[in-house]
Chain A
């Protein structure tokens, strides 16, 4: 399932075993955009396909999107606590200290999921 990127929203690719979020995220109305994604994520996590890998590569998100990410990670945590093996890869560019710090912030809230900070090459 693919949610194409919008001008203010990232591209989201969901499969039964993976989730990729890439781009910038600062929609006018966050819940309008995030509700369908969280619902789809719930379905994906619900089926018994074993492990689940989440790749997040964001370049910018605003504060209301941060709220969505908190919810998102909370959701993953609940699933992971339920026994699902979940890996989160927070991908950031070496020179992007803002995103690096943001990733580190989220890492603090995550324990049940395996969380990796992944530095990627400048594309």
Chain B
């Protein structure tokens, strides 16, 4: 079952339930209303009927009552008055009755009643003697039903005359009297009657009078006033006005009477009101009079409600019609709306299905259905799907583009692979070629995704192939590089051996010398120099600019100049000696480099010790010599100029610092020691102050402990940081021995 059918079914069901509820409620209302109008009708009719009857009774019949009647009339029944002669004396009527003078009595009764009967105030009057002998009977000329004075007329009390007579002993009685026709020709006449006794002076009943009024007139009047049909129900039978006039009853009336009578037997009540649906008539039953049981005598009222019922029916029909019409319209609209919406949704589904099959060309129909708007749910669904379709179309274009690029890429890859294959030989080439053709097959068949995957696979294979080749090539190159590096390293190692060979190997016998020499790399710019002559000793510690191989080159030049500048034959001050080295170096370097913008040269200090004079001389180029003895540690600074520097006057000469009677230990060092940096972010150099401090604090002042202490301190200071420069630390002291400065063979090498 589609959603549409379900919706329509639900709406239909809802309308049905609403209709049923409405119907039920209207039925309830109608029934309540019917009940109410029944009661209304009963009350209205009975009160009207009774009031009419009572009025008639009081004005026409009660007037003759011996007690309650008019004075004139009452007087007729007074035995001690003569109303006929209007004098006191015996009432002639009573006299006539007592004397059984029937003729006179009848005459007198005639005087009493004739006028009223003529004027139709009463229908009849009958007088009986105490035994029931009729004394007088007169009835109206205009009679309906049996004539009460006819031979065949029989009033209902006649058969039970004894009890009737005794009922009068206590005075007048109002009663309904039915007079039937023994011949059966005329219908029963029904009368409202007043019966009263005539009492003698001795309070003896001497006669009885019955005054009656036929109620048919009243009934006719009642019917006319209320525009109704009526019938009198006598037990199981019914009489109508038509019966009295010898008219045929209409079949409808008969039907209604039957319905009215049977309702009483069915329900056991005699006061009711109901609607006879078929005849469109309200049938009511009211008691005839208070003096008689309703089961014996009652009035059936037939109130034609046809018009009202028709109106009601029409209203009901109209309501139902409107209800049905509105329901139909709603149903129709919902049907139209759902049909249009669902058709649009079906269009959307169709489009999606097509898209699922890969067909992106199906357009979304633009016809907006009845009652649809751009913003309704279906329109939004449609536009979203259409947008999606456009995206898919774009993606498709991109995909094709990608596929095209991929094909191009694959093509290039194959070409490169093929050219790679050409460079190979034998089986390897055949294998690669086979691989290429297999790859070509995979990338040219299957779905787009498979092709993409195949392409990536091809690419990775090609890359691994190529990288294998390139790897082989790199391996070869690396091998070459390693070989070259090994070669360089071995050269440098050899150079280091050479540089090491240039260092002094033996020390003067009267000197205690300890040296720490560490080029940062295998070779370096630092060098130290000791030359022993019979009368003097030269000691130099030198830091040439640069380090590594260039530094080492310079150090060899420096060493040769330190050697060459010695004037062993004459006294030579330390300053002069250093100045001579400076000149030699400047000469050499300016020869090799005319511009000489660079700062090649060295910093360092030289010491010359004259044995005989026991005099130590020092000259320094940006270098100091430290002395530690029993009184403390001191520093003697050299000049603030470098050897070989262009930043000095042409006639600059280094200062000689003379230390006579040298005591304690002396320390010379390069900036490899003082420039050792602490490992923090903003490092501080080890500096000369720390050197002095160590010297001052060293308990033992021998060269070897001094060197050991300084090196330990430097290594602690730098932590993990590597050395930045070559370093040389040289400590010496004179061995106190006055004996002889036994000539220690010349230290070092050379000539």
A98 touching B687 by the CB < 8 A rule? yes
Partner of B545 from the list A64, A93, A99 (CB cut-off 8 Å) is A64
Contacts of B545 in A (CB 8 A): 63-64
Q: Is the CB of A24 within 8 A of B683?
A: yes
- Contact between A24 and B647, CB atoms less than 8 A apart: no
**How far does the Cβ of A116 sit from chain B's closest Cβ, in whole Å?**
20
Q: How far is the CB of A60 from chain B (nearest CB, A)?
A: 5
Q: Which residues on A sit within 8 Å (CB–CB) of B687? A: 96-98
Q: How far is the CA of A101 from the CA of B724 in the complex (A)?
A: 20
Point out the residue from B603, B640, B682 that lies within 8 Å of A59, measured CB to CB.
B682
User: How many angstroms between the C-alpha atoms of A43 and B35 in the bound complex?
Assistant: 120
Within 8 A of B (CB), among A50-64: 59-60, 62-64
Using Cβ atoms and an 8 Å threshold, which residues of chain A touch B725?
Answer: 62
B683–A64 CB distance below 8 A: no
Q: Which residues of A contact B543 (CB under 8 A)?
A: 63
B278 contact set on A, CB distance < 8 A? none
Q: Encode B592-610 as 1/0 by CB contact (under 8 A) with A.
A: 0000001100010000000
Q: Which of A70, A96, A108 contacts B684 (CB 8 A)?
A: A96
- Asked whether A99 lies within 8 Å of B724 as measured between CB atoms, the reply is no
A24, A64, A98: the one within 8 Å of B546 (CB):
A64
* Chain B neighbourhood of A108, CB < 8 A: 640
**Given A59-B682, A64-B545, A97-B688, also A70-B647 (CB < 8 A):** yes
Least Cβ–Cβ distance between A30 and chain B, in angstroms = 9
Could you tell me which residues of chain A, from 69 to 123, have a CB within 8 Å of some CB in chain B? 70, 93, 95-99, 101, 105, 108, 123
A60 contacts B677, C-beta separation under 8 Å: yes
Interface core residue of B642, B674, B684, B725 (most chain A CB under 10 Å): B684
Q: A24-B677, A70-B647, A95-B684 are in contact. Are A63 and B689 (CB under 8 A)?
A: no
Contact in complex: A67, B599 (CB < 8 Å)? yes
B197 CB to closest chain A CB (Å) equals: 153
In the bound complex, CA of A96 to CA of B686 (Å): 8
**Contact pattern, B 664-690, Cβ under 8 Å of A = 1, otherwise 0:** 000000010011010000111111110
* Tally of contact residues, B, Cβ under 8 A: 23
Contact A62 B724 (CB under 8 A): yes
> What residues of A have a CB within 8 angstroms of the CB of B603 in the complex?
63
Taken together as a complex, chains A and B put the C-alpha atoms of A63 and B641 apart, in Å, by 12
Asked if B640 contacts A26 (CB within 8 A), the reply is no
Nearest B residue to A98, CB-CB: B685
Find out whether the CB atom of B689 lies under 8 angstroms from the CB atom of A97. yes
Instruction: Give Cα A70 to B598, complex, Å.
Output: 12
CB pair B724–A26 under 8 Å, yes or no, is yes
**C-alpha gap A10/B121 in the complex (Å):** 152
Q: Is the interface of B mostly helix, strand, loop or mixed?
A: loop
Residues of A within 8 A of B688 (CB): 97-98, 101
Given contacts A98-B674, A98-B675, A105-B640, contact A60 B685 (CB under 8 A): yes
Instruction: Say yes or no: A63-B724 contact (C-beta < 8 A), given A98-B674, A105-B640.
Output: no
A50 vs chain B, min Cβ distance (A): 31
Give A114 Cβ to nearest chain B Cβ, in Å. Answer: 22
Cβ contacts under 8 Å, A62 to chain B: 675, 724-725
Taking a contact as CB atoms under 8 Å apart, the answer to whether B675 and A60 are in contact is: yes
A64 to chain B: which residues have CB within 8 Å? 545-546, 599
Nearest neighbor of B525 in chain A, beta-carbon distance:
A63
State how many angstroms separate the Cβ of B638 from the closest Cβ of chain A: 13
Bits for B540-571, please: 1 = Cβ < 8 Å to A, else 0: 00010110000000000000000000000000
The answer to whether B546 touches A59 (Cβ under 8 A) is no
Q: List the A residue with the shortest CB-CB distance to B671.
A: A63
The answer to whether A63 and B599 have CB atoms under 8 Å apart is yes
Measured in the bound complex, the distance between the Cα atoms of B608 and A91 in whole Å is: 38
What residue of chain B has the Cβ atom nearest to residue A109's Cβ? B647
CA distance in complex: A99, B598 (Å): 23
- Contact A93 to B647, CB < 8 A, known contacts A62-B725, A98-B674: no
Chain B residues lying within 8 Å of A105, measured Cβ to Cβ, are: 640
Contact string against A for B residues 635-650, beta-carbon threshold 8 Å, 1 for contact and 0 otherwise: 0000010100001000
Could you tell me the distance in whole angstroms from the C-beta of B689 to the nearest C-beta in chain A?
5
Q: Which residues of chain B in 675-734 are interfacial with respect to chain A, using CB atoms and an 8 Å cutoff?
A: 675, 677, 682-689, 724-725
Smallest Cβ-Cβ distance to A63: which chain B residue: B545
Q: From B598, B674, B684, give the contact of A93 (CB < 8 A).
A: B684
**Smallest CB separation, A27 vs chain B (Å):** 12
The chain A residue with its CB closest to the CB of B684 is A96
Say whether A59 contacts B599, CB under 8 Å: no
B18 to chain A, nearest CB (A): 86
Complex-state Cα separation, A108 to B603, whole angstroms: 19
C-alpha gap A99/B545 in the complex (Å): 19
Task: List chain B residues, Cβ under 8 A from A26.
Answer: 724
Contacts of A96 in B (CB 8 A): 684-685, 687
Separation of A123 and B681 alpha carbons in the complex (Å):
10
Residues of B contacting A59 with CB < 8 Å?
Answer: 677, 682-685
Please, which residue of chain A has its CB at the minimum distance from the CB of B602?
Answer: A63
Produce 1/0 per residue, B350-374, CB < 8 A to A.
0000000000000000000000000
Q: Tell me which residues across on chain B come within 8 A of A95, comparing CB atoms.
A: 684
- Which residues 127-163 of B have a CB within 8 angstroms of A? none
Residue picked from B685, B686, B689, B725, most chain A C-beta under 10 Å = B685
Chain A contacts for B724, CB-based, 8 A: 26, 60, 62
- Residues of chain B within 8 A (CB-CB) of A123 are 682
State the CA gap A63–B683 with chains docked (Å).
Answer: 17
Instruction: Report the minimal beta-carbon distance from A84 to chain B, rounded to whole angstroms.
Output: 23
Q: How far is the CA of A120 from the CA of B38 in the complex (A)?
A: 122
Let me know if B683 and A60 touch, CB within 8 A: yes
How many angstroms between the C-alpha atoms of A63 and B603 in the bound complex? 9
Q: In the complex, what distance in Å separates the CA atom of A66 from the CA atom of B545? A: 11
Chain B residue with Cβ nearest A26: B724
Kindly state the separation between the CA atoms of A66 and B725 in the bound complex, as whole angstroms. Answer: 15
How far is it, in angstroms, between the C-alpha of A24 and the C-alpha of B682 when the chains are bound? 8
Residue-wise interface mask of A (14-33) relative to B, using a CB-CB cutoff of 8 A (1 in contact, 0 not): 00000000001010000000
**In the complex, what distance in Å separates the CA atom of A97 from the CA atom of B640?**
16
Q: In the assembly, what is the distance between CA of A19 and CA of B398, in Å?
A: 56
Residue of A whose beta carbon sits closest to that of B601: A63
What are the residues of chain A within 8 A of B640 when measuring CB–CB? 105, 108
B306 to chain A, nearest CB (A): 115
Q: A residues near B, CB below 8 A?
A: 24, 26, 59-60, 62-64, 66-67, 70, 93, 95-99, 101, 105, 108, 123
15 A-B residue pairs with Cβ-Cβ distance under 8 Å, sorted by A, are A24-B683, A59-B677, A59-B684, A59-B685, A60-B683, A62-B675, A63-B543, A63-B599, A63-B603, A64-B545, A64-B546, A96-B687, A99-B685, A101-B688, A105-B640
Known: A62-B724, A67-B599. 15 other contacts (CB 8 A): A26-B724, A59-B677, A59-B682, A60-B683, A63-B543, A63-B603, A63-B642, A63-B671, A64-B546, A66-B599, A93-B682, A96-B685, A96-B687, A97-B688, A98-B686
Nearest 6 CB-CB pairings of A with B: A98-B685, A67-B599, A98-B687, A97-B687, A96-B684, A97-B689
